[in-house]
Homo-oligomer: A and B are copies of this chain.
Amino acid sequence: MRIVPISEDECRELLQRVPFGRLGCALNDQPYVVPIDFAYEPEHLFVFSTAGKKVEWMRQNPKVCVQVDEIGNWSNWTSVIVTGTFLELREPQYTGQREHAREQLAQSSKWWRIPLAERREPIEDLAIEPVFFRIDITGMSGIRSIPEAE
């Protein structure tokens, strides 16, 4: 197996095709990783989420990364890493972006049927408070495996 870099266009195609990944944030040198759904646009990722540790951390340190992959097996995979900056979209001025992102998420993710993060439910187990944020992309790179046979 060989591992080769992929082009930025190929990275963008993967982000368009796979609207699901892992978000990394960090505070005081401690990293933290959680799964997220996102809607990709050329310069941004839009995310609906629930409040909690990751949001508290990103409010203090907005540097984030998102890792997205397609994995067939050990010798057949592609992985993309996006670095970016967290921006919380709380203000009324972002209502349009929120609606747009909601539509994008509903279209792009087949199993995203109910926007969980937008539902205010009386949950005893864990409070679910909706948070809407944007990741402004500052860089991206990707690698891909090539099986020996090729």
Q: How far is the CA of A3 from the CA of B35 in the complex (A)?
A: 14
CB distance from A119 to the nearest CB of B (A): 9
Chain B residue nearest to A32 (CB atoms) is: B65
Contact with B along A93-131 (1 / 0, CB 8 A): 000000000000000010111101000010101101000
5 closest pairs, A vs B, by CB? A24-B31, A26-B26, A33-B67, A24-B33, A26-B31
Q: Which residues of B contact A4 (CB under 8 A)?
A: 125-126
Cα(A64)–Cα(B101), bound, Å: 31
Minimum CB–CB distance for A56 against chain B, Å: 15
Contact B69 A35 (CB under 8 A): yes
* List of B residues within 8 angstroms of A22 by Cβ: 22, 24, 33, 67
- Chain B contacts of A23 at CB under 8 A? 33
A61 within 8 A of B: yes
A11-46 CB contact bits vs B (8 Å, 1 = yes)? 000000000001111100111111100000000000
